[in-house]
Amino acid sequence: MVGRGKSAMDADNARRFMMATVHKETAQLLKAVEEICRRYPPSDELNFVRYLLRMIVSETDRGNGADDP
- What is the full per-residue pLDDT of the chain (69 aa) written as tens digits? 555 666 678 889 999 999 999 999 999 999 999 999 999 999 999 999 999 999 999 999 876 655 554
CB proximity list for 33: less than 8 A, separation 6 or greater: 46, 49, 50, 53
Domain residue spans in the chain?
4-66
**Euclidean distance between CA atoms 24 and 43, whole angstroms:** 25
With a threshold of 0.85, does the pTM exceed it? no
**Angle between the 44-65 and 11-39 helix axes, to the nearest 10 degrees?**
150
What was the pLDDT predicted at 9? Answer: 80
**Euclidean distance between CA atoms 53 and 68, whole angstroms:** 20
